[in-house]
């Protein structure tokens, strides 16, 4: 069995609250989807806005490997000819070879939303599909609100599909537009439609009841061969069926042909690429592609995974481009640390002793408020220091930060820092829009002559959490800093009752870790900022 994969990230996904794709964004995503072997890419609604019109104009001459670009639109308005309908004209003008038309399946919508008769709605569907077919377009018919309509008036819902089929539709897609249908009732409806029509039947599921992926799989089990969804499940309200979950479920679990298995190995890359363009932080617990999807924390789990990954992994993470991760925390056992030593290729004669030492230090630091499961950069430095006593790339001699609040709310911060780097003492100062920014700038200024790679490192996230709220302004705070250099991203941690000291610990670790990785070895540098063991 082969499934037609239809992506609607650029149209339905763009309706997510807080997401707004530019034309350039849409073009980049379209090319990415095409390279992964998606069959149809819905580019937008050319009759609704200038952005989508520009997208279709620019994608028209693109050389695509596998995908067909489709335009989305509605059936003609009531009581007019298809040739006079502006929406249908815009679809034709867009230059696409395929169009997806949606029409009403629910009699309630026909009489209340369209304010027309049931007979006229059937004519609108049939004539609109036929008109686009006459213009040489392949037409996919989206039966909007099909499952609600089927529950309310099954005979009429089926009639709307018959109208689309009579007009020449290439596929009949059943839409759970409100996202409230449960898998059992959905399966029964899809089976009915598949038994009635020889045309390919599709599914377009929304996630308002948390059932979009389950409903999509159920529809395929019932006979559907066309699947619609979005990358990361983006979409209006609670989103659409997440293709990053649907596709591996169908291919790896059900043995159904979707995209090529080699392309499936780029699924994590696709997920993170689209989330980056959408400016949405990736969900770490997203099935298959999330950072935590194959992460183990409990010592018992890690011990079992080291013996055989199948004990706690439902698939090989590499099949979707993910990787196994072992987290470390006060819940960790010796297995967690041993796994990390192996991961870093630290084959030590005293490996067991080193691991016990690190585990004891880890538990003590977490008791003091550190959190290493979210700061793998700091933990790796901790591990490397304990394993082979790495030379520190810099040592702090003194640090002073001056912040001035001026009338009108203007804030001025300046950091003065004195470091020991190799055999030299470096003394410098820098300004910033706040104390941490000033500290970051001063540290860069002091180190850039010795470590030019620092120029590539950028602080991408900064989080502060108060650990004991009852202590008020004297509370311990935990600072997590995320840094990226264009190739990798890492997180480091600092804890102190003084937010500047906590920030310094995390910031110093972030630079030390970045320098360590840029040299491509685990034996040259270690943190200048982490607390002593």
User: Does residue 447 register a pLDDT over 60?
Assistant: yes
Q: Tell me: do 383 and 422 sit in the same domain.
A: no
* CA torsion, ordered 145, 148, 149, 150, to nearest 10 deg: 120
Least confident of 246-255, 373-382, 393-402: 373-382
Q: Tell me: do 375 and 432 sit in the same domain.
A: no
pLDDT of residue 414: 93
In percent, how much of the chain has pLDDT > 90?
Answer: 59
Contact 178, 236 (CB under 8 A): no
Confidence of residue 531 (pLDDT cuts 50, 70, 90): very low
In a domain, 230, yes or no: yes
In a domain, 288, yes or no: no
Domain CATH code at residue 166: 3.20.20.70
- Give how far the C-alpha of residue 250 lies from the chain's centroid of Cα atoms, to the nearest Å: 20
pLDDT per residue over 210-231, tens digit each? Answer: 999 999 999 999 999 999 999 9
pLDDT of residue 233: 98
pLDDT of residue 340: 66
Tokens of 112: 């209340």
Q: Please state the φ and ψ torsions of residue 532, each to the nearest 5 degrees.
A: -70, 150
Q: Of 328, 355, 388, which residue sits at a domain end?
A: 388
In a domain, 155, yes or no: yes
Angle at 82 between CA 80 and CA 88, to 5 degrees: 120
- Distance (Å, whole) CA 253 – CA 210: 20
For tokens 């070895």, name the residue: 521
Domain CATH code at residue 484: 3.30.160.270
- Distance (Å, whole) CA 360 – CA 332: 10
- Name the maximum alpha-carbon separation found in the chain: 88
Q: Tell me: do 220 and 301 sit in the same domain.
A: no
User: Does residue 27 register a pLDDT over 60?
Assistant: yes
Q: Which is more confidently placed, 270 or 454? A: 270
pLDDT of residue 409: 72
pLDDT of residue 430: 93
Contact 508, 396 (CB under 8 A): yes
pLDDT per residue over 112-159, tens digit each? Answer: 999 999 999 999 999 999 999 999 999 999 999 999 999 999 999 999
> Could you give the number of structural domains in the chain?
3
Burial of 324 (0-12, 13-18, 19+ CB in 10 A): middle
- Radius of gyration, alpha carbons of the chain: 29
User: Does residue 302 register a pLDDT over 60?
Assistant: no
In percent, how much of the chain has pLDDT > 70?
Answer: 84
3-state SS class at 279:
coil
Nearest to 296 by CA among 285, 307, 310, 312: 312
Least confident of 132-136, 290-294, 338-342, 468-472: 468-472
- Distance (Å, whole) CA 259 – CA 321: 14
pLDDT of residue 475: 76
Confidence of residue 371 (pLDDT cuts 50, 70, 90): low
pLDDT per residue over 458-500, tens digit each? Answer: 888 888 888 766 666 667 888 888 998 888 888 898 888 888 9
Confidence of residue 523 (pLDDT cuts 50, 70, 90): very low
User: Does residue 519 register a pLDDT over 80?
Assistant: no
Q: Of 336, 358, 388, which residue sits at a domain end?
A: 388
Q: Tell me: do 122 and 210 sit in the same domain.
A: yes
Q: Which is more confidently placed, 197 or 272? A: 197
Least confident of 63-77, 243-257, 510-524: 510-524
Angle at 481 between CA 477 and CA 482, to 5 degrees: 155
Q: What is the mean pLDDT of residues 264-277?
A: 93
The length of the chain, given as a count of residues: 533
In a domain, 454, yes or no: yes
- Looking at every residue in the chain, the average pLDDT score rounds to 87
Q: Of 368, 388, 408, which residue sits at a domain end?
A: 388
Q: Tell me: do 369 and 481 sit in the same domain.
A: no
- In DSSP terms, 466 is beta-bridged to 477
Q: Tell me: do 225 and 318 sit in the same domain.
A: no
Q: Tell me: do 21 and 140 sit in the same domain.
A: yes
pLDDT of residue 213: 98
Q: Tell me: do 438 and 318 sit in the same domain.
A: no
pLDDT of residue 104: 97
User: Does residue 508 register a pLDDT over 60?
Assistant: yes
pLDDT of residue 525: 37
The CA–CA distances, whole Å, from 198 to 190, 195, 224, 366, 526 equal 13, 8, 11, 62, 66
Q: Tell me: do 58 and 151 sit in the same domain.
A: yes
In a domain, 474, yes or no: yes
Least confident of 94-103, 176-185, 272-281, 375-384: 375-384
pLDDT of residue 526: 37
Long-range contacts of 155-160 (CB under 8 A, 24+ apart): 156/105, 156/107, 156/118, 157/105, 157/106, 158/192, 158/193, 158/196, 159/122, 160/103, 160/104, 160/105, 160/121, 160/122, 160/125
Please state, as a whole number, how many other Cβ atoms lie within 10 Å of the Cβ of residue 241.
Answer: 29
Q: Tell me: do 114 and 153 sit in the same domain.
A: yes
Residue range(s) defining the domain that contains residue 367: 295-388
In a domain, 495, yes or no: yes
In a domain, 471, yes or no: yes
User: Does residue 40 register a pLDDT over 90?
Assistant: yes
Contact 236, 191 (CB under 8 A): no
- Distance (Å, whole) CA 56 – CA 75: 20
Least confident of 49-53, 133-137, 243-247: 49-53
- Distance (Å, whole) CA 346 – CA 385: 12
3-state SS class at 495:
strand
Q: Tell me: do 384 and 403 sit in the same domain.
A: no
Q: Tell me: do 377 and 461 sit in the same domain.
A: no
pLDDT per residue over 380-390, tens digit each? Answer: 777 777 666 66
In a domain, 348, yes or no: yes
pLDDT of residue 473: 64
pLDDT per residue over 55-103, tens digit each? Answer: 999 999 899 999 999 999 999 999 999 999 999 999 999 999 999 999 9
């Amino acid at each position: 069995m082969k499934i037609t994969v239809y992506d609607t990230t650029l149209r339905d996904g763009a309706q997510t609250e807080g997401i707004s794709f530019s034309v350039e964004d849409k073009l980049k995503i379209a090319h990415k989807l095409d390279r992964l072997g998606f069959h149809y890419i819905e580019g937008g609604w050319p009759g609704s806005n200038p952005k989508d019109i520009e997208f279709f104009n620019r994608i028209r001459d693109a050389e695509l490997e596998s995908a067909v670009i489709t335009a989305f639109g509605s059936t003609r308005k009531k009581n007019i000819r298809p040739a006079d309908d502006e929406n249908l004209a815009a679809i034709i003008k867009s230059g696409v070879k395929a169009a997806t038309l949606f029409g009403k399946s629910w009699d309630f919508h026909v009489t209340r939303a369209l304010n027309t008769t049931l007979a006229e709605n059937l004519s609108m569907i049939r004539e609109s599909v036929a008109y686009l077919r006459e213009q040489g377009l392949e037409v996919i018919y989206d039966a909007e609100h099909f499952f609600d309509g089927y529950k309310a008036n099954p005979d009429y819902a089926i009639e709307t599909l018959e109208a689309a089929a009579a007009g020449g539709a290439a596929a009949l897609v059943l839409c759970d537009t409100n996202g409230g249908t449960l898998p059992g009732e959905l399966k029964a409806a899809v089976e009915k439609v598949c038994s009635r029509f020889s045309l390919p039947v599709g599914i377009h599921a929304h996630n308002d009841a948390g059932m979009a992926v389950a409903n999509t799989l159920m529809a395929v089990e019932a006979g559907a061969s066309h699947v619609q969804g979005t990358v990361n499940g983006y979409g209006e309200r609670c989103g659409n069926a997440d293709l990053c979950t649907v596709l591996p479920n169908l291919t790896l679990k059900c043995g159904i042909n979707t995209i090529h298995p080699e392309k499936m190995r780029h699924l994590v890359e696709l997920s993170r690429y689209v989330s980056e363009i959408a400016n949405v932080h990736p969900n770490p617990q997203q099935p298959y592609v999330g950072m935590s999807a194959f992460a183990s924390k409990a010592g018992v789990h890690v011990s079992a995974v080291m013996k055989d990954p199948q004990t706690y992994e439902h698939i090989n993470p590499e099949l979707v481009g993910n990787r196994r991760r072992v987290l470390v925390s006060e819940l960790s056992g010796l297995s967690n640390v041993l796994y990390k030593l192996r991961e870093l290729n630290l084959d030590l004669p005293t490996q067991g002793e080193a691991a016990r030492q690190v585990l004891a230090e880890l538990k003590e630091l977490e008791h003091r408020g550190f959190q290493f499961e979210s700061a793998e950069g700091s933990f790796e430095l901790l591990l490397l220091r304990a394993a082979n006593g790495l030379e520190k790339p810099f040592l702090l001699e003194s640090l002073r930060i001056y912040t001035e609040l001026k009338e009108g709310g203007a804030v001025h911060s300046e950091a003065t820092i004195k470091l020991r780097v190799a055999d030299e003492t470096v003394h410098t100062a820098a300004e910033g829009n706040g104390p941490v920014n000033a500290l970051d700038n001063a540290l860069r200024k002091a180190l850039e002559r010795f470590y030019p790679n620092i120029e590539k490192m950028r602080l991408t996230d900064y989080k502060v959490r108060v650990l004991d709220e009852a202590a008020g302004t004297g509370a311990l705070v935990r600072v997590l800093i995320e840094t990226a250099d264009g190739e990798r991203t890492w997180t480091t941690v600092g804890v102190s009752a003084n937010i500047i000291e906590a920030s310094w610990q995390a910031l110093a670790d972030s630079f030390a870790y970045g320098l360590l990785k840029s040299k491509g070895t685990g034996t040259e540098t270690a943190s200048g900022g982490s607390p002593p063991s």
